[in-house]
């Protein structure tokens, strides 16, 4: 088989329907839109409209609760921290939320940075962040470092 012999499976692709190309095409004049009415005009998108009947998304019961003052944390995995230490983008001696942002590992702090335990940490690192999972704390201490969970710097 050569590159020029590659073909799609029969029936996998269909030719594009070209509307408004004369009466012989079967899709001329109105182009399959019927005559008059809102849907025959251009610029119409009636998604979720059920012709006066209450739409299904309004008929169904609402569930749950969205907390208006929920905290949103920037998430970092230990494996990425180790990668940045190896690439000399981070100094293992002192890692804070500000140094994580400066190195480019975290784009913005949001309500704080939370460290998760995915990946391996081999460097002895002192990390100070707003939040951390139990597995992350254990992994850092196993590597001989220290993970301190501090209160968020920005007081609300």
- CA nearest neighbour of 127 among 105, 111, 107: 105
User: Is 45 within the bounds of a domain?
Assistant: no
- Domain containing 102 — which CATH number? 3.100.10.10
User: Is 107 within the bounds of a domain?
Assistant: yes
User: Is 44 within the bounds of a domain?
Assistant: no
The answer to whether the pTM exceeds 0.85 is: no
The reported pLDDT for the residue numbered 63 is 93
Quick one: CA dihedral 112, 117, 119, 120, positive or negative?
A: positive
User: Is 78 within the bounds of a domain?
Assistant: yes
**For residue 155, is pLDDT > 70?**
no
**For residue 26, is pLDDT > 50?**
yes
Per-residue pLDDT of 37-92, as tens digits, reads 888 888 887 888 888 899 999 999 999 999 999 999 999 998 888 888 888 888 87
The reported pLDDT for the residue numbered 12 is 95
User: Is 156 within the bounds of a domain?
Assistant: no
Per-residue pLDDT of 85-121, as tens digits, reads 888 888 878 888 888 888 888 898 889 899 998 888 8
The reported pLDDT for the residue numbered 47 is 84
The reported pLDDT for the residue numbered 109 is 86
Contact partners, residue 17, CB within 8 Å, separation at least 6: 27, 32
For the stretch 35-54, what's the b/e string if a residue is b when 16 or more beta carbons lie within 10 angstroms of its beta carbon? eeeeeeeeeeeeeeeeeeee
Quick one: CA dihedral 17, 18, 24, 29, positive or negative?
A: positive
The reported pLDDT for the residue numbered 16 is 92
Domain residues for the domain of 114 are: 74-149
User: Is 126 within the bounds of a domain?
Assistant: yes
The reported pLDDT for the residue numbered 156 is 43
């Amino acid at each position: 088989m050569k590159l020029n012999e590659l073909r799609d499976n029969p029936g996998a692709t269909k030719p594009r329907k070209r509307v408004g190309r004369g009466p012989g095409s079967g899709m001329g004049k109105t182009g399959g839109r019927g005559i008059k009415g809102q849907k025959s005009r251009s610029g119409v998108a009636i998604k979720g409209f059920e012709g006066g009947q209450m739409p299904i998304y309004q008929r169904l019961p609402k569930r749950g609760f969205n907390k208006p003052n929920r905290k949103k944390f920037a998430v970092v995995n230990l494996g990425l921290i180790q990668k940045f230490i190896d690439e000399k983008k981070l100094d293992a001696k002192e890692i804070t939320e500000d140094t994580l942002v400066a190195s480019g590992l975290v784009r913005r702090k949001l309500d704080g940075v939370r460290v998760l335990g995915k990946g391996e940490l081999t460097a002895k690192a002192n990390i100070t962040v707003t939040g951390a999972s139990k597995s992350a704390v254990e992994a850092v201490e196993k590597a001989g470092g220290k993970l301190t969970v501090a209160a968020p710097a920005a007081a609300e």
